[in-house]
Amino acid sequence: MIDNTESQHNSRRICVINYKGGTGKTCTVVNLGHGLALAGKRVLIVDTDPQGSSGYHLGIRNPKYSLYDLLVGNATSPECIVNARQNLDIIPSNERLFPAEMALSKMKNREMILSQKLRGLQNQYDYIIVDCAPSINLLNQNSLTYAQEIFLPVSMEYLSLVGIKQLLNNIKIINKIFRHNLKVSKLIPTFFDKRNSKSKVVMDSLNRVFSQVMANPIRSSVAISEAAGYRQTIFEYNPKSSGAEDYQILTNEVIADG
């Protein structure tokens, strides 16, 4: 039974996912997370990708506990939370998460383990953002049953549209089986280049289906990829770049959405 204080709190549980890789998913998680934190919001990132890119991006090195210890070990959620920036915490991940999938598959209510383990955190944060691996797996099913809404980063590639179709089908199945009400609340075009005709074609396709939830596009930006290499967010690395401008607009949109 869920504590009533959790359901009364306005924390938003957001899953950032696309089954296709290379869509700027982790960059979006980290830069949006930091943008919200800079705006005074309390943010927790939960990295469910065994590559552990969110923690790497934020400069988290060798944490004592990771998501693996929370899901299949005896560690508690407070033990696994690492402070990354002011107002910004993370439950990091690493390659140890690969065997966790096997262990989860043998557990009772295996699609709900993440929800059970994170219970109680909702009243401590304004936003809980889950970074997902680009695959259809049990960890992602856990993320989707935990989240209330999906942010879908889509790169300006034709193949991105295929990944969206798979994801939307999966959401329908999860909503039906678990009586869930998960929906895509924000579609985020990434690697946008207005000089490129392909960008325009993909944007037009997305606008036809997702006009209600389209975010301002994130333009292609060298600074965004360089920031990750320096283990900084775009707001730290180059706050005057087009990337920082675009992620600030996205941050403002997310806050305005409530």
Residues 66-103: tens digit of each pLDDT: 999 999 998 999 999 999 999 999 999 998 888 888 88
Average pLDDT of every residue of the chain: 91
Distance of CA 252 to the CA centre of its chain: 17
* Residue 241 structure tokens: 């770049």
Q: Is the pLDDT of residue 5 over 60?
A: no
Across-strand partners of 91? 46
DSSP of 43-105, one letter per residue?
A: EEEEE--TT-HHHHHTT--S-S--HHHHHTSS--HHHH-EEEETTEEEE---TTHHHHHHHHH
- Alpha-carbon distances, residue 245 vs 35, 129, 219 (angstroms): 11, 21, 10
Q: CB of 27 within 8 A of CB of 250?
A: no
Q: Are strands 88-91 and 43-47 parallel, antiparallel or unpaired?
A: parallel
Show the domains of the chain with their CATH numbers: 4-256 (3.40.50.300)
Percentage of the residues of the chain whose pLDDT score is greater than 70: 96
**Taking the alpha carbons of 113, 116, 121, 125 in that order, is the dihedral positive or negative?**
positive
Per-residue pLDDT, averaged over 115-142, amounts to 93
